[in-house]
Amino acid sequence: MPEAYGFTAYGGPETQRFLDLPKPVPGPDELLVEVRAAGVNPVDWKVRAGMHRAFLHLDLPAVLGREVAGVVEQLGDRVDGFAIGDPVFGTSARGCGGYSRFALLTADQAALKPATVSFTDAAVLPVAAGTAYDGVGQLTLTGGERLLILGIGGGVGVAAAQLARDTGVSVVGTAAAAKREFVESLGATAIDYDSPDFGAQLEKALPNGVDAVFDLVGGDALHGVSAVISPGCRILTVAEPETAARFGARPLSRRGSTRTLTELARRVADGRLDPQVRGVFRFEEAKAALREVEAGHPWGKVVLDMRGGL
């Protein structure tokens, strides 16, 4: 029986454990993958905590994990473009299931992994980098424009900064003071959101306002930067609808298509996009990996390396 790591009830980390479950069977539009690496994301502990129960219905016990990279083991009846033995990466089918020796991917949210991209790098692309790619695309940025990213130091913000930078956009982002050097290494200007002179720093960095805002923080974050929001500014936000409407912002929508994943992998392969994998844990360390993410780990992406044995 393949090993998996998941949770037996909604709640805190005490509900997590290793599970012996049957090997999944792919549906018509799914791939069964022998997992080599699985991304660890904040959404994973939020699923366990029950924060997504309204729209993600799971039978418990459930396996954690939204993104994987591995090798195709079996194909669903309607799957085209993939073959058994292909190295692939993508989004876990049915909402979760990535922390496992074998996992299911939805075919239209999976892509072939280039040989020059590692499994650990590929495994962290679908969620954060995929969200960043969709968001930057929706903002229709052009060279010479100014983009403000609220929450630039997180996984989505880090990828968005790199993607926007490569279009010739001037990127400014809000982040903790400890992340200043890291953010500036991405080619962006960092502003400490906890600084007492935050407003002055913001206006100094953006004396002519901004052309676009990518709000990854939500809450009152848009209110705090309203002084630099120019007329006609395009805004994407994760804030609640009332705040979004007040600023004329649009909600961020995800696609996560094969085309998006293929483009992200191409950018990693040619060096334009660094997935910023900073923490690689063995599968038996799944609890520690998720604990680091749930606590708000400070740097880069966290991955489970599934090649080691329990």
Instruction: Give the CATH number for residue 300.
Output: 3.90.180.10
Does the pLDDT of residue 114 top 90, yes or no? yes
Write down the pLDDT at residue 259: 93
Query: Of the candidates 81, 110, 97, which has an alpha carbon nearest to the alpha carbon of residue 23?
Result: 97
At which residue do the structure tokens 């913001």 appear? 202
Q: Give the number of C-alpha atoms closer than 13 A to the C-alpha of residue 265, restricted to the C-beta side.
A: 26
Write down the pLDDT at residue 195: 84
Task: Give domain status of residue 156, yes or no.
Answer: yes
Does the pLDDT of residue 297 top 60, yes or no? no
Q: What's the rounded mean pLDDT across residues 194-208?
A: 87
Share the mean pLDDT of the chain.
91
Q: Are residues 133 and 117 in the same domain?
A: no
Instruction: For 166-200, write each residue's pLDDT tens digit.
Output: 999 999 999 888 888 888 998 999 998 888 888 88
Instruction: Supply the DSSP symbol for 53.
Output: T
Task: Give domain status of residue 158, yes or no.
Answer: yes
Q: Are residues 9 and 31 in the same domain?
A: yes
212: left (phi over 0), alpha (psi -120 to 50) or beta: beta
Q: Are residues 202 and 279 in the same domain?
A: no
Q: Are residues 246 and 133 in the same domain?
A: yes
Q: Are residues 237 and 283 in the same domain?
A: no
pLDDT band of residue 242 (cuts 50, 70, 90) is confident
Going 46 to 48 to 51 to 53, the CA torsion angle's sign is positive
Does the pLDDT of residue 95 top 80, yes or no? no
What CATH number did the domain enclosing 142 receive? 3.40.50.720
Is the distance from CB of 145 to CB of 171 less than 8 angstroms?
A: no
Q: Are residues 93 and 154 in the same domain?
A: no
Task: Give domain status of residue 234, yes or no.
Answer: yes
Write down the pLDDT at residue 298: 58
Range of the domain at 229: 129-251
Does the pLDDT of residue 284 top 60, yes or no? yes
| 3 state SS for 275-300 | CCEEEEEEHHHHHHHHHHHHCCCCCC
Does the pLDDT of residue 310 top 80, yes or no? no
Q: What's the rounded mean pLDDT across residues 248-267?
A: 89
Please count the residues of the chain: 310
Q: Are residues 209 and 298 in the same domain?
A: no
Q: Are residues 19 and 133 in the same domain?
A: no
Does the pLDDT of residue 147 top 60, yes or no? yes
Task: Give domain status of residue 159, yes or no.
Answer: yes
pLDDT band of residue 96 (cuts 50, 70, 90) is confident
Task: Give domain status of residue 113, yes or no.
Answer: yes
Q: Are residues 53 and 75 in the same domain?
A: yes
Where are the strands (E) in 21-128, listed by range?
30-40, 62-63, 67-75, 87-92, 102-112
Counting residues of the chain whose pLDDT is more than 90, the rounded percentage is: 64
Write down the pLDDT at residue 308: 60
Going 39 to 43 to 45 to 48, the CA torsion angle's sign is negative
At which residue do the structure tokens 């010479």 appear? 144
Q: What's the rounded mean pLDDT across residues 11-29?
A: 94
Does the pLDDT of residue 1 top 50, yes or no? no
pLDDT band of residue 244 (cuts 50, 70, 90) is confident
Q: Are residues 234 and 215 in the same domain?
A: yes
Q: What is the number of structural domains in the chain?
A: 2
Q: What's the rounded mean pLDDT across residues 232-251?
A: 87
Q: What's the rounded mean pLDDT across residues 136-144?
A: 91
pLDDT band of residue 309 (cuts 50, 70, 90) is very low
Q: Are residues 238 and 299 in the same domain?
A: no
Q: pTM higher than 0.75, yes or no? A: yes
